[in-house]
Structure 1
């Protein structure tokens, strides 16, 4: 059986469904006295590409001058965290944030932003950067 035949046998709706993961935010759980989870979903290719473009600073000749990883991470959260919605005007008002980007920065610690970014990246098909999984070079005497 060819690979095409195998793919044709799969449920197309399930194949095209974006993976979802509930991620517990321990700091919020501790404050609330109950489990607080953020709903994270995979990004599609166009959204991922748009986010990557936002984080790149190009020079006049089109060469890359800088990559703003914080911008990439925050915009990944804005698109990949579906609950809570950082775009919710009530939530922004509660925390005194003029924009969704500002809200992310106000309520999440840098490590929490990194953790959610990693989870959304993994859901989107990127492998985890886990140094423990890489083979170690043997030391030669």
Structure 2
């Protein structure tokens, strides 16, 4: 079945954004957290990216990598937007919660997982395609 046939035969109501549960070992807590990571609407995803860029007269001056990662995590992982958790930790904002709980490497790992959920996983995509091709041959 070609792509057009697949799209014509699919039920559009069954489309859903992917998600995952990511197990993150948090050194500050000395415990593993199960963090729900949801895909982000593509327009919102790019908006977060654009908001992390400093542009002056059309020239890219700076990329605020920390803001990019934290804002992406906040959008994808609802636990960090839970104001009951934020306030229980004595904090004012969800960004403060991420900064309080996670080390730099943990933020990087979680950001990478969020990217995977959003389809930014070239290596994983190649592996899945190879496996699918093997299945088709067999």
Per-residue Cα deviation, 1:80-106 (whole angstroms, up to 9, x for no partner): 012x2x222221222232211121111
For residues 103 and 36 of structure 1, the distance between their equivalents in structure 2, rounded to whole angstroms, comes to 14
Q: 61, 66, 74: which one pairs with 1:65?
A: 61
CA RMSD of aligned residues (A): 2.3
More helix by share: 2
In the alignment, structure 1 segments of 5+ residues that lack a partner are 134-141
Per-residue Cα deviation, 1:1-40 (whole angstroms, up to 9, x for no partner): 54211212223233x3011110112237x745xx630010
Q: CA deviation at 1:127?
A: 1.7
Q: Which residue number in structure 2 is paired with residue 45 of structure 1? A: 42
Q: CA deviation at 1:46?
A: 1.3
Q: 1:42 to 1:129 in 2, by over 3 A?
A: same
For residues 1-141 of structure 1, what are the structure 2 equivalents within 5 Å? 1-14=1-14, 16-27=15-26, 31=30, 36-59=33-56, 61-82=57-78, 84=79, 86-127=80-121
TM-score, with structure 1 as normaliser: 0.76
SS, match of residue 65 in structure 1 = strand
Aligned structure 1 segments of 4 or more residues deviating by more than 3 angstroms? none
SS, match of residue 117 in structure 1 = helix
TM-score, with structure 2 as normaliser: 0.78
Q: 1:110 to 1:129 in 2, by over 3 A?
A: farther
In the alignment, structure 2 segments of 5+ residues that lack a partner are 128-138
For residues 7 and 77 of structure 2, the distance between their equivalents in structure 1, rounded to whole angstroms, comes to 29
- Would the aligned equivalents of 1:118 and 1:128 in 2 still touch at CA under 8 Å? no
